[in-house]
Structures are given as structure tokens and as C-alpha cells.
């Protein structure tokens, strides 16, 4: 079956994924060009980082990679590593809070986005999801929820639940990494302190180590759904699960380490700038 896959073409075409990637990339490019023409130029590295994140998300959701993710547990964990860690992380490094407002048409912002953003239900939901206690619990909790063997079994055999699983991981990650990598100034409203960000990144590591180690070191196969679907490559269920456990364990935790280093760098840089003497006005 794998020989029939055209790896760069959609396995199961999703208009939602295509629309998300086109809008995310297109609006960012428009905003980036307008920023360059205005007094707030954004460099090339944020552009490369953001678009790389979008492309990675497209590749794991809208190409033959998605077929492999449905037939190999370790590929599925790679897919979620991109959706829940790497892709959104790279997008947030692209300064979307600065660039995207320039990319979205002003009429649409005034007529739709601004009223929606200022509505009480949206503000309350956003405040809840970005709460310093709720955000890490949701971030780790979704990993555990979708890896519960019974839940995972039903999700992988239902197209709607499979899409819900992937979208929930992606949307949660976009909110989580925005909370962690928010580049706004120290006193911006709603901005989380650097110390709290480092605590959050530290706290989400042990649960990921535990579940990854549980999968990698288990003596028996925990996910029988791949026996039902059939594996894309002829490796044993236990080896498939062991590799999946390592993917869940090591790269995901390294993302937290990288996040801590970036937060520390910004914290030190901001403290250095605030400690500089004010210019003397003659």
C-alpha cells in the first residue's frame, strides 16, 4: 500500500487544513511586507521561522505523511510533535502579534475581529485558556488524553475524532507557545512574567517524560489499533511503541529546554535595557 502513496499529495484532502495554512502564510507575508514598508520592519529570520512552522504543519496533516501517521504509532507521535511543539513554536518565534495585524484587512478587523475579540465570552475563554495554571494542565492533559489506549483506539478509527484530535493539539499549542514566547514589553496587559514562563516550561517536562518512558519501557503493546489498521512497515508492535515512546519523551522535552533558554535570553536582555541610564536631554 505504501508504494501507492504520492507523499507530497494529500492522502485525505482537508479544506480546513489548506485554508488554515494559506491564510496563516498569506496574511503573514502580506503583513511582513507592510511592516517592512512602515516604521516597524521585521527581519528575515522571523519570516523564515514562521513560514517553516506553517509548512511543517501542512506536511504532517495534508500529505502522505498523514497516511503513515494513521498506520505507524511512532509516525503518529512525530506528527503530534510537529502539531503540538515544533510547528507552533516556530510560528510564535515569527512575531505574529506584530506582523499579522498588518496583514489582516482593516475592514475585516473593524467589522469582525475587533467586536469578536471584545465580546465577553471570547475574552473570558481566552483568559481561561491563557491562565498560568490552566495552560500547562491543558498542554500536558491533551497528550495524556489522546494517548489513553481506549480513547486512542476510537480516535484512530473515526475520521471526525481523528480530525478533532489533531486540531485540538494544534490549537492548544498555538495558545501555549504564544503564552510562553509572547514578546510584548514587560508591562503589557495580560503578559505573563518570565519567571512564571520558566516554571511552566519546567513543570510540563516530567509528565511528558513519564508517559514517554511508560510507552518505551512497557513489556506489552498498549495500542492494538495499529494491528487493526495494519502497519505501513513491517516492524513489531513493541518496537513501534518503543520508538513512539522515545519521540514522546526526548524531543518534546528538549523543546521545553529550548524554550527556557529563549525566555532567559529575553529576560536578561530586557533587564539589561532597563538598567541603561536614561539619555540626558540638554
pLDDT digits (tens, 9 = 90+) for 91-124: 999 999 999 999 999 999 999 999 999 999 999 9
Share of the chain above pLDDT 90, in %: 80
pLDDT tens digits for range 211-267: 999 999 999 999 999 988 888 888 999 999 999 999 999 999 999 999 999 999 999
**What are the distances in angstroms from CA 42 to CA 48, 52, 96, 157?**
11, 16, 10, 44
What confidence score (pLDDT) does residue 5 get?
A: 58
3 state SS of 70? coil
Asked whether the whole model's pTM tops 0.85, one would answer yes
Give yes or no for residue 173 having a pLDDT over 50.
yes
**Higher model confidence: residue 243 or residue 14?**
243
Average pLDDT over residues 20-36: 95
Residue 282 confidence class, pLDDT cut points 50, 70, 90: very low
SS3 content of the chain, % helix, strand, coil (to 5): 75, 0, 25
Average pLDDT of the chain is 91
Amino acid at each position: 500500500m505504501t508504494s501507492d502513496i504520492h507523499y507530497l499529495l494529500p492522502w485525505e484532502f482537508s479544506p480546513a487544513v489548506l485554508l488554515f495554512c494559506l491564510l496563516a502564510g498569506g496574511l503573514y507575508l502580506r503583513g511582513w511586507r507592510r511592516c517592512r514598508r512602515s516604521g516597524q520592519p521585521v527581519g528575515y529570520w522571523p519570516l523564515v521561522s514562521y513560514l517553516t512552522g506553517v509548512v511543517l504543519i501542512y506536511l504532517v496533516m495534508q500529505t502522505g505523511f498523514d497516511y503513515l501517521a494513521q498506520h505507524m504509532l511512532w509516525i503518529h507521535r512525530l506528527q503530534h510533535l510537529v502539531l503540538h511543539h515544533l510547528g507552533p513554536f516556530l510560528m510564535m518565534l515569527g512575531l505574529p502579534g506584530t506582523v499579522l495585524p498588518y496583514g489582516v484587512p482593516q475592514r475585516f478587523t473593524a467589522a469582525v475581529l475587533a467586536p469578536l475579540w471584545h465580546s465577553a465570552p471570547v475574552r473570558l475563554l481566552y483568559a481561561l485558556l491563557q491562565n498560568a495554571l490552566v495552560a500547562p494542565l491543558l498542554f500536558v492533559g491533551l497528550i495524556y488524553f489522546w494517548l489513553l489506549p481506549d480513547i486512542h483506539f476510537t480516535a484512530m478509527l473515526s475520521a471526525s475524532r481523528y480530525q478533532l484530535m489533531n486540531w485540538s493539539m494544534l490549537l492548544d499549542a498555538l495558545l501555549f507557545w504564544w503564552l510562553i514566547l509572547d514578546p510584548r514589553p514587560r508591562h503589557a496587559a495580560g503578559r505573563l512574567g518570565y519567571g512564571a514562563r520558566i516554571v511552566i516550561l519546567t513543570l510540563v517536562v516530567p509528565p511528558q517524560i513519564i508517559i514517554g518512558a511508560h510507552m518505551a519501557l512497557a513489556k506489552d503493546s498498549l495500542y492494538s489499533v495499529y494491528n487493526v489498521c495494519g502497519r505501513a512497515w513491517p516492524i513489531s508492535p513493541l518496537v513501534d511503541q518503543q520508538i513512539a515512546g522515545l519521540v514522546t519523551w526526548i524531543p518534546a522535552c528538549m523543546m521545553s529546554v529550548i524554550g527556557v533558554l529563549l525566555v532567559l535570553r529575553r529576560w536578561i536582555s530586557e533587564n539589561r535595557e532597563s538598567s541603561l541610564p536614561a539619555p540626558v536631554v540638554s
